[in-house]
Structure 1
Amino acid sequence: MTATVEDSVRPATGHAVRLAGVHKSFGQGRRTLAALAGVDLDVAPGEFVCLLGASGCGKTTLLNLIAGLDRPSAGTIELNSSRPAVMFQEAALMPWLTAAANVELPLRLAGVPRAARKSRTGELLELVRLDGAGRKRPHELSGGMRQRVALARALASALHTSDEAASRPSLLLMDEPFSALDAITRDVLQGELLRVWRTTGTAVVFVTHDVREAVRLGQRVVLLSSRPGRVVQQWPVGGLSAPEERALTETINQRLREVISSHAAA
């Protein structure tokens, strides 16, 4: 079954995004590669969900489908959010623009009046604790600071809504945004992300291969099988004590090893 424009993305209620029986294949004939096979997943408004799995299991493919950057081969993706914003592994800032201008860009493209977008940009830079760095260009910023700018830019896109979409929840898609950073900077930015998420109330789908990161950040961890990816297990992880967090991290690590081993033995 081939997904059409009408049946692959349609309005829905009660969730920010819902995936039902989502398949994705690349290529044709004998060269067909199945990346995803029958993924079912609901993300509630304001929920922080971490997608976890081995390299090549289809995590990024799934994120691209939710973002509308690609189409599912079959199944449905129901969006009940403003247009999803995406944050990648690399900050991908425009090097000729200042930090403030990079954050302002999606608002400018959306036709937001100049005074309103300047005000919103200032608020977002303050939210990510870069209110004094707006005039700096990307090469003048550290890696962690560049990712903060990228986060502010994604929030500018996710939290900006037209009158038509004003009642819809916002949705932020994050593809291993801290993986290229050193351990200390990554730890700091994880804490900052949680603060920003609690402040904004946006739904987050966060892709990672780091179990500790998933347990620390998410309210729910979703484990995908090795390729073709499908949901094999889920865990609620919000509000755990430190000992509970450590124990669950080990449980999920063990389950991940089992998934990888079963794929290797197949």
Structure 2
Amino acid sequence: MTATLEAPTPSHVDAAVTLSGVRKAFGHGPNAVLALDGVDLTVAPGEFVCLLGASGCGKSTLLNLVAGLDAPTSGSIALTTSRPAVMFQEAALMPWLTAVRNVELPLRLAGLKRGARRAKANELLSLVRLGEAGGKRPHELSGGMRQRVALARALASTLGSAEEGTPGLLLMDEPFAALDAITRDVLQAELVRVWRETDTAIVFVTHDVREAVRLGQRVVLLSSRPGRVVREWGVDGLAGADETETIEEITAHLREVISGHAAAS
């Protein structure tokens, strides 16, 4: 069985990304570490999916494979965009560039002319409510503001897909984990607003069940290593008692996964 990364499909599509039987091993022979084993997952255009699992279950590895930063050992990943964008815990902004010029970077790589990319970068900064901060450098911004700039830059990376008529795809690896609780709450709300305005598909890795239920339309639980999809929940629009009950149910299953991981270690 060989690993394949399929070419983008035509503009009328049913999925932003499809993983079929994805397996990932690091190393060779008896010392190889199997991180993912037989992962099947489809994310629809514009869908917000949250991935949960024990530490070391392969959540970040899965994102890296979808992003093209690594290749699966076997199985296939079919993307409808050639430019999935990635956002990490750290904003990873270029410290010598202003906020607007950081957002311009992917637009410059995509070949946009200076005037067009500056206008688009300013538009994206306004979208994340940083329209007045374009001339500031990263050290002049708070942690939350830097993550907003990183979000604007990630959205800029997905623009080529939208122009080609294919869904944008944003991969987020615990982007708010290093922030204080109040800033995290604010940015969660902002992310949902931006997602609704842009209709970009999002795959969001988190270890926080409440965050997953609050943000996502669907929560996917991975087993302990090697990671496999063991359970999914539709959480779109939950509120009140239904939300609380779902959080408790997901938490119970996550504890089972973590306990199983600890027992196997």
Contact 2:22-2:77 at 8 Å conserved across structures: yes
Aligned match of 1:108? 108
Q: What's the CA shift for 1:44?
A: 0.2
d(CA) in 1 for partners of 2:129 and 2:19?
34
Aligned match of 1:209? 207
- Unaligned segments of structure 1, at least 5 residues: none
d(CA) in 1 for partners of 2:161 and 2:76?
24
Q: What's the CA shift for 1:245?
A: 1.2
Aligned with 2:64: secondary structure?
A: helix
1:146 aligns with 2:143: no
d(CA) in 2 for partners of 1:65 and 1:127?
29
Q: What code does the residue aligned with 1:15 have? A: A
d(CA) in 2 for partners of 1:175 and 1:43?
16
Aligned match of 1:265? 263
Contact 2:161-2:167 at 8 Å conserved across structures: no
Aligned match of 1:127? 127
Q: How high is the sequence identity, in percent, across the aligned residues?
A: 71
Contact 2:8-2:82 at 8 Å conserved across structures: no
Aligned match of 2:39? 39
Contact 1:67-1:85 at 8 Å conserved across structures: yes
Aligned match of 1:28? 28
Contact 2:18-2:78 at 8 Å conserved across structures: yes
Contact 2:57-2:225 at 8 Å conserved across structures: yes
Count of residue correspondences = 261
Q: What code does the residue aligned with 2:173 have? A: D
Aligned match of 1:91? 91
Q: Deviations over 1:219-238 (max 9, x none)?
A: 00000000000000000000
Contact 1:82-1:168 at 8 Å conserved across structures: no
Q: Deviations over 1:14-73 (max 9, x none)?
A: 100000000000011121000000000000000000011111000000000000000000
Q: What code does the residue aligned with 1:30 have? A: P
d(CA) in 2 for partners of 1:96 and 1:242?
46
Q: What's the CA shift for 1:147?
A: 0.1
* 1:2-17 pair list within 5 angstroms: 2-3=2-3, 7-12=4-9, 13-17=13-17
* 1:37-76 pair list within 5 angstroms: 37-76=37-76
Q: What code does the residue aligned with 1:32 have? A: A
d(CA) in 2 for partners of 1:153 and 1:82?
16
Q: TM-score, normalised by structure 1?
A: 0.96
Q: What's the CA shift for 1:162?
A: 8.1
d(CA) in 2 for partners of 1:264 and 1:139?
40
Aligned with 2:89: secondary structure?
A: coil
Aligned with 1:21: secondary structure?
A: strand
d(CA) in 1 for partners of 2:238 and 2:204?
19
Q: What's the CA shift for 1:89?
A: 0.7
Pick one of 219, 243, 254 that aligns with 1:245. 243
d(CA) in 2 for partners of 1:44 and 1:221?
13
d(CA) in 2 for partners of 1:206 and 1:94?
23
Q: What's the CA shift for 1:242?
A: 2.4
Q: What's the CA shift for 1:241?
A: 1.3
d(CA) in 1 for partners of 2:89 and 2:240?
28
Aligned with 1:75: secondary structure?
A: strand
1:156 aligns with 2:156: yes
Aligned match of 2:219? 221
d(CA) in 2 for partners of 1:101 and 1:87?
17
The Cα RMSD (Å) is 1.1
Contact 2:125-2:149 at 8 Å conserved across structures: yes
Q: What's the CA shift for 1:82?
A: 4.4
d(CA) in 1 for partners of 2:123 and 2:214?
27
Aligned with 2:7: secondary structure?
A: strand
